[in-house]
Each structure stands twice: as C-alpha cells, then as structure tokens.
Structure 1
C-alpha cells in the first residue's frame, strides 16, 4: 500500500509515524506549549530526527468542549507555521488537520502534503471536492456531531458495523470524485465512550475489510489515563502499549506526541516479523 505525497511514494507496508504539532492554546496535552518560532522548529527537528514520516499541524482544538474559532483565526495560526517549517525543512511532509475546505486548500497551496479531516467531509460540504482538486492524500476520521457535541453522540447498536458502513459510504463518495489515496481513522475518543474505544481496538483488524490504510490516534488520550488513574502527562507508557497492539492488528500510521517511542515500537515489531 502506497500514498503519493507531492510526487513522493510513501510505502505503508511498513508502518509510519505522524508527529503531532498543536498550534492551539487549548489542546488537551500540549496546548500552548510551542509559543515561538524557535520552539516550533526545535520540536519539528526532534520529531523528524526521531523518524517521523509526517508532521500533523492542527490550529483548531478538537478536544471535548474546546472553544470554536473562526476560519480566519485558524488560517492565521496555521499558514505562517507551514511556511516557517518548510523553509527550514523543505522535504518535510506536512499534514493539515482541519475540517474546513478553505483551510485545507490554503494549507496545501502553502506547501503541505496531505489533509487530515476529523469529519470525513461532513462538516464542510466542499471538503471532498476540494481535496479531489488538490489531488492529495486524505485522512478521514469517524465522528458523530461536532467537537462541541460529540460527547453526547455515543449511542450505537453495533459500533463496529456502523463505523464500517460510515467509512464505506465516505470512501465511495471520495472515490467518485477522484480521491484515490484515502486513509481511515477510527477516531478514538470522538463520540465514543472509554469502553467503546477499547471495543474498537479489540476488533481493529476488521477495518482491513475497507482495504485502506488505517491511522491510529490514541496518544495520551483519556482512554489511557482514566483507565490507569493517572494524567495525560503520565500516559506515555500506556500509549506505547496500545500503539503496539494497534500495530499488531494492522495499523499503518501512528499519530503521536512522542515520535521516538512510536518509531521504536515499529522497529521492534518489524524485527519480530523478520
């Protein structure tokens, strides 16, 4: 399985790591941590040196109860950082974490390589056609409602069945528009209870039925620290455990705050396979 990022074929038969760079003041783990250009470039350098294939830039916090911000504010936070990073690291493959088509368009035009959309095109009716025109890889996540309402949207008769139906429908729509490189993200923590998150992880291999690469984002999330009765700051070990399980069940990309540890997971499991 490969995806095309700016003419560069990325082989996902060996799992890859996507490093998280939050450009928001209110993200659940590292909000407001990177306050100036040198801190941002230093963090990108650390992630790339540790083995990140992608860097995911988010300028809109999607944590539960996060503040809604305007499109203008999101662009103001995002675009200068895309330019800054690519000036210093021109080969970096940047992912734009947004559900807004205009932010996606301007992020790609500024030099980013792929789009990561928590809503799979359902929060902006122009998103899929925009991605089709841009001809970039598209990560579509499963979520019900919005970041502000998702915690009230956790009723399912059969969560895995409903998620597979959701992805089948969204993939078909994307394919009809000419989007070929699609990656699916089960959306751990988005419109799901802790128990539902673990049920999805338990049955993760069923997502292979979609015949698309699967991205997993459990890094330091509440499903870990609430289970272990600690904090997001103490959840690295738990993250590593769940990432290892996800890899064994077929995950192609790990989206993480801690790149070095995720890369080590992949290297050790690859050694085990060989």
Structure 2
C-alpha cells in the first residue's frame, strides 16, 4: 500500500509518519515537497506517485493570524482539501481528512455530535468548515474532527505551559472554555485502525464524519494546573507552581479570533464503528510530559 501523507512536520503528521509505516510505504510530505497553496502542484504530485490512500492532517492552524491572512488560510484549509478530494475521486482511493471543533460555535450545552449544525465563529473555523464540504463531494472520505491537539512534537498548549511555568511567577489561564485535550499519538492510532479496517474490508462503506478525541472533559485552567503539578512531580524546577495559576474568563483574555466556549465532541460513533477504546486525556498528557522532561 502506498500512503500519501501531508503535513509530516505538524503534530499529528509527525506521529502518523511514524505509525503508518507498518501498513505500507508512507510518502510523507511537507510544504517544500507538496505546496498546498498550489492546486496544480498538488495534482501533478498525486498523478506522479499514484497513492492508494491520501491522509491530510496538514492545515493552516494559526487561529488568530488567520483573521488577517484569510486568503492563505482559505487556500490551505478549503481549496487544497477540495483538490485532494478531486484527485482521490479520479484514482478511486480513500481520503482521510482532519478537521476541528472550531466548525461549531460552542454554544451547545452538551457534547457535539457529527450531525450537529456547523456555525464557525472565526476565519480558521470557516475555512475548515468549507474544507469539510469540499471533501464531502467525494464519497470515499473520512473526516476526523478533533480538539486541543498536543504531543511531544510541534507547538501546543502543553509545551507552552511547560515553558511559562519555568519563566513566570504567576499565570492567568482561561477557565470557561470546556473541551478535551487530544494526543497526536492517539489520533495516529485511531487513523491506523481506520486505514487498516478500510483495506481489510473490501466492502467497507462506513465513510463519513467522525469525532475523535481522548476521553474526559476539562478547561484550560484545569489543564494548566495538571501540567504544573505533574511537571513538579517529574522533577522539573518551576517558578510558577499550580497555586500561582489563576482562573480567568475568556472576556479577560481577548483574542483576534473567537474561541468556542464548548469544544466537547461526542466520540460514540467512532468507538462503535471501529470498535475502539479511547484513553483518558490525563493519562496521555502524563505520557507526553514523561517524554519531554
């Protein structure tokens, strides 16, 4: 099996590149090898390598910067997935595409299910939402929506907190946004299971949209205090312990792009369809901290 993977230097792409090798030849690309802002280059690359499946975790993820760079975000998050879907259709191969909780407005009280109405409140969210629609024009697609991704590779909240608790005397962290931190390695495991299932079952028909996060719910403040406490237990010398991390409201920390107050995603469909058990976010955070400290 020949697997085309985009975004190999991103958090999820990095873990996928390591994991998917057990299934076949992984052609892992970054922006130098595959420029997602250039539709013609995408088509030429795919026509040349003729993969058996395309996996697309690559995205423009600078949420606040997207407000001032909407065209670039649109090219990478909307146009490129559409081109990948067209190419997948021509080759009659599956396409796995990653999306985000930001396609929702965050106003629902319960966890979002796959069929809930999208209503993005930011340029990033809108471009990802539009990208989903482009992917859905091709039947053989899997869209994996996730939230609050973290890992030992790339930039994320966990690594930022590790740096800040060593530099700052105190921190103010937003406490009214709920969601689930999701490890990149878990997303790679889930993707592995999905790809393996598709290719082992010639009659596979469970294409569509799935929510994929770790188990459990938290907020950014609770997440930060867990990181601080765990880092201290692992022997990291910190200036800012958890008792000097203070909860604040989103209104006290204005950002260029609006964040959903509720990012919780219901994963029942994914677990049932692919017979998966998903680990709790806390155990995954502790695992990554042990790798980093």
Relative to the length of structure 2, the TM-score reads 0.33
Higher CA-based Rg? 2
